[in-house]
Amino acid sequence: MNCHKTLLDTYAHIMSIENKGNVADYIPELGKVDPEHFGVCLTTNNGIQYTAGDAHIPFSIQSIAKVLSLSLALSLEDTMIWQRLDVEPSGSAFNSLVQLETENGIPRNPLINAGAIVVCDILCTHLKDPKKELIAYIREVSNNEDIQYSEIIAQSEKSNGYRNYALVNFMKSFGNIKNDVDQMIDLYFYLSSIEMTCCQLSKTFGFLANGGKQLITNKEILTRSQSKRVNAIMQTCGFYDEAGEFAYKVGLPGKSGVGGGIVAVLPNSYSISVWSPRLNKKGNSYRGMEFLELFTDTTRETIF
Ligand SMILES: NC(=O)CC[C@H](N)C(=O)O
């Protein structure tokens, strides 16, 4: 199978069909992005990259960054983090409050907003300068000193982040937030505002296709066992109430963000990212899902 040709053919086909859905505008700055951007990059485990379209334009990776904050928390506390978080799919929207009440402020998993906020709280307990140390970690995982936050997007989300403030205060009432609410929610907004291109994103996630080791350098980002677990969480929880649909259609562990990005990995083979800002009703990239479904159907390589 010629991987680059399949990628280009799939891209051309998805380009030729109607682009459905809407750009996320509950974060006003995100609503300003051109909805027709469409980029793809596949990075093989030996570091070769195949691209199509807008693969070199930076975009807001939003919830995709939750996988990186989770990785850092696992490196710091390993399985201790599971005292404050679960690993079950939520079956509800990424910003839902409903389960928290009956489940005593313990989020279902680290990839919904409530769970990622608890992860940020864990990081605030360990890090002296959380924002600085978190971006330093992400640059280290990416092997790229150019990775940036967007101050404008972080501020835009902060001034409209009523639900996330509700989530953090609700969990604080159950004793599952240890740090100052304002300080730690700030870290969450900064985490969400990280920007990467498709090429940077797929290269960054290469460690999850490579048993926890960074591509090329072989530096250990996570142990093999931790990497297996993060992939399992992406598989079951990476797309919120559409995690089943993504597993059914695409058959790879992955993670989406409301900026329109999706990253997915085929363990021992490659990591792929797609960016297209129009989102379906569940908050996942419409073209991203369509692209990956057709791509894995054509290559016939999935984990199933
Ligand atoms: N699904 C997402 O990408 C959501 C992230 C966004 N920063 C929020 O908290 O609402």
Could you report the per-residue pLDDT of 215-259, keeping only the tens digit for each?
999 999 999 999 999 999 999 999 999 999 999 999 999 999 999
Q: Do 3-60+195-299 and 64-192 come out as alike in CATH topology?
A: yes
- Which residue type does 26 have? Y
Q: Is the CB of 69 under 6 A from ligand 1?
A: no
Q: So where are the chain's domains?
A: 3-60+195-299, 64-192
Note the pLDDT tens digit of each residue in 168-211: 999 999 999 999 999 899 999 999 999 999 999 999 999 999 99
* Mean pLDDT for the stretch of residues 267-279: 98
71 lines ligand 1 (CB under 6 A): no
Residue 272: pLDDT above 80?
yes
The structure tokens listed for 179 are: 């740090």
pTM metric for this prediction? 0.98
Annotated binding site for substrate: 63, 113, 157, 164, 188, 240, 258
Architecture field, domain 64-192: 3-Layer(aba) Sandwich (3.40)
Q: pLDDT over 90 for what percent of the chain?
A: 97
Own/partner long-range contacts of 210-214 (Cβ < 8 Å, ≥24 apart): 210/45, 210/268, 211/267, 211/268, 214/141, 214/143
**Cβ of 192 less than 6 Å from ligand 1:** yes
What CATH number was assigned to the domain covering residues 3-60+195-299?
Answer: 3.40.710.10
Q: Which string of DSSP letters, residue by residue, matches 111-148?
A: TSHHHHHHHHHHHHHH-SSHHHHHHHHHHHHHT-TT-E
Q: How buried is residue 47: exposed, middle or buried, by Cβ count under 10 Å (0-12/13-18/19+)?
A: exposed
Q: Please report the pLDDT score of residue 34 as a whole number.
A: 97
d(CA 75, CA 78): 6
- Mutating to test ligand 1, I would choose from 63, 155, 184 the residue with most ligand atoms within 8 A of its C-beta, which is 63
pLDDT tens for 73-94 read 999 999 999 999 999 999 889 9
Q: What's the pLDDT score for residue 1?
A: 60
Say if CB 7 and CB 295 are below 8 A apart. Answer: yes
| CA atoms within 13 A of residue 31's CA, in its CB half-sphere | 7
Q: What is the mean pLDDT of residues 40-64?
A: 98
CA–CA distance, 244 with 240 (Å, rounded to integer):
9
Distance 62 CA to ligand 1 centre (A): 6
Whether 146 shows a pLDDT value over 80: the answer reads: yes
Res 247: pLDDT: 97
Is the per-residue pLDDT at 302 higher than 80?
yes
Q: Does 95 contact ligand 1 (Cβ within 6 A)?
A: yes
